[in-house]
Amino acid sequence: MKELMFSLTCIIISITLPLQQAVSEFVTDGLVSYWTFDKAHIRNNKLKDVWGDNDGTSFGNPKIVQGKIGDALEFDGEENYLNMTNLGDFGSQLGSSTFEAWIIVGHKNDRMSLIYVRDPCMEWVFSIGTRGGLDDIQTIIAHKVGNHCHGYVGGLEPLKLSDRKWHHLVYSHEIMNENVNRVNKKRLKIRVYVDGKPLLASSFDLKQPATFIPFEKPLYLGGEGRLGAQPRFYKGVIDEVRIYNRALTHQEVIQNYKIQTPYSVEPIKKLPVVWGLLKSKD
């Protein structure tokens, strides 16, 4: 009987472990928040953060549609946007960071913001312009230097994103110590990856003394909320949004790019129960 129970246990474990690995095959080191936008994780206009405690709120009723993985949210470019709060402690620790999402970019004749945070002296922006048949990508990071604000603006060569196809986007910035002409300097490195490929790597000397101050304003997805005269609402679809408190490596970007498994916690909960049932029959 014990030999039979042992054999059954081995079979169950061999079936269950691949399911557990599927749950954690995306990079979790440094992960702050993760919004799947799956129907199961949306209640009315509340969007569950399945990893952290930073649930978001949708405005303008973006539609739940078929996503790259599971479900996604579609934005009409008019009044749809998401308020993701200030991400709790992440807002007070912003330094090296990564934003990741699957997106479909719709055609629009003005610039639109995919992510947007702006406090009096702090900015974190990724925007897309879709004029002239190609797409112009712009990144902005700003921080406090003494009593003044200083920003770093980066951009890609025009490329075609608004083709109504899914694209995997990763936008990171990292504060690094680099030796330049035998002088140790703090530098800001901005990277953008599309579909696993590095398309931008810009480095800037950080003005000193440099302080990335905490932000208290919300992080917006799909627009700039109700701030300013140009809300720059996003037109397209957004899925599988993750934010990290560090810059992902190229290998990690590729790892996340290859994932096709919907997020689930069920397999992790089942194994101890099965083990308990087997033990009770001993």
- Topology of domain 27-260 in CATH is Jelly Rolls (2.60.120)
Q: Does residue 139 sit in helix, strand or coil?
A: strand
Q: How many CB atoms lie within 10 A of CB 63?
A: 11
pLDDT band at residue 15, thresholds of 50, 70 and 90? Answer: very low
| pTM (two decimals) | 0.81
**14-18, 102-106, 178-182, 231-235: least confidently modelled range:** 14-18
Q: Model confidence over 238-253: pLDDT tens digits?
A: 999 999 999 999 999 9
Give the chain's mean pLDDT. Answer: 80
Average pLDDT over residues 25-36: 94
Residue 258's pLDDT is 94
In the chain, where are the structural domains located?
1-25+263-282, 27-260
Is the pLDDT confidence value at 4 over 90? no
Average pLDDT over residues 167-196: 85
Tokens of 107: 């055609």
More confident residue, 178 or 113: 113
**120-143: b or e for each residue (b if 16 or more CB lie within 10 Å)?**
ebbbbbbbbbbeeeebbbebbbbb
Q: Model confidence over 120-141: pLDDT tens digits?
A: 778 888 999 876 678 888 888 8
Question: Is the previous residue joined to 209 through a cis bond, with omega within 30 degrees of 0?
Answer: yes
**36-50, 155-169, 243-257: least confidently modelled range:** 155-169
